[in-house]
Structure 1
Amino acid sequence: MFLLFAATVVASGQNFTCTPTHVWDGDGPIWCAEGPHVRLSGIAAREMDESCRTNQPCPDASALEARDQLVAFLGGARGSNETGHIIVRGPRMNCRSDGSAGGTRTAAFCTLPSGEDLSCAMVESGTVLRWDRYWRDHRCP
């Protein structure tokens, strides 16, 4: 049985674990079994309607390409739910909060069990762009 917890924002600077259960688009949110909804820090993907917000970088890759790449990094799709979120059973990640990303989303840089930084991997995939405003001094391993 899968239980959904109410999403809460993790305070900036806090480390937390996230076991991904659902993905919306290429930069999140990623729903975590532990409760948070993670918006990956430092990157920008197209919205699911293929638009880009005027205040952010706009990648050439489609929203579906970015979402599917993120889903692949999280172990692959296991179906979808009635809202269109892709169901995943991703590996448990270690994340560091950058604080609120608006609403109940936590902005965070997350690391896969392999040690791969997820924001860096998404930029390297070419499906998202680095968003310097939020990337700040983050470094890829």
Structure 2
Amino acid sequence: MPKIGQMLDVQASQPAAERFLCEVAYVNDGDTLRCTDGTRVRLHAVAAREADETCSPGHPCPAATAASATTELRRLAANRTISCEPVGQSYDRVTAICWSSAEVEINCAMIRSGTTLVWEKFD
């Protein structure tokens, strides 16, 4: 499993066929979005506060607000088509590493923005 810091290098070596396209219909919060086909995507190894500003027990708890993380994910992905590489499942969501059309890795961009944290347990 690649580490967050290594994902940019790994992305270039992965065949595009392993990715799926997601036309982003809605950003739920700072680490989850929904595609127009109904697919729910959870950003792999990224932790944001819940919409009610809490942090679930056992989850990393960023200092940034949930609202700021949601705003940042909207800036990066809302109303755009992104490509995502599935890594696993989390409840009824696909966990994935996702890229913008300009090949910006959204997972890393969220962490670099300071609005989310790396979830070491899954990195």
Q: CA deviation at 1:15?
A: 2.2
Equivalent of residue 121 in structure 1, options 97, 101, 109: 109
Equivalent of residue 73 in structure 1, options 73, 76, 84: 76
| Letter in structure 2 aligned against 1:24 | N
Q: CA deviation at 1:134?
A: 1.4
In terms of fraction of residues, the more strand-rich structure is 2
Counting only pairs closer than 5 Å after superposition, residues 43-122 of structure 1 correspond to structure 2 as 43-74=46-77, 88-90=78-80, 92-102=81-91, 104-122=92-110
Equivalent of residue 15 in structure 1, options 13, 19, 23: 19
Query: The residue matched to 1:69 in structure 2 has which SS?
Result: helix
Q: What count of residue pairs does the alignment treat as equivalent?
A: 106
User: Counterparts of 1:110 and 1:134 in 2: how far apart (Å)?
Assistant: 16
In terms of fraction of residues, the more helix-rich structure is 2
User: Counterparts of 2:103 and 2:67 in 1: how far apart (Å)?
Assistant: 25
How large is the Cα RMSD of the aligned pairs?
A: 1.1
Q: CA deviation at 1:132?
A: 1.4
Structure 1: tracts of 5 or more residues without a match: 1-13, 75-87, 136-141
| Letter in structure 1 aligned against 2:79 | R
Give the structure-1-normalised TM-score.
Answer: 0.72
Q: CA deviation at 1:93?
A: 1.2
Structure 2: tracts of 5 or more residues without a match: 1-17
Which consecutive aligned stretches of 4+ in structure 1 deviate over 6 angstroms post-superposition?
A: none
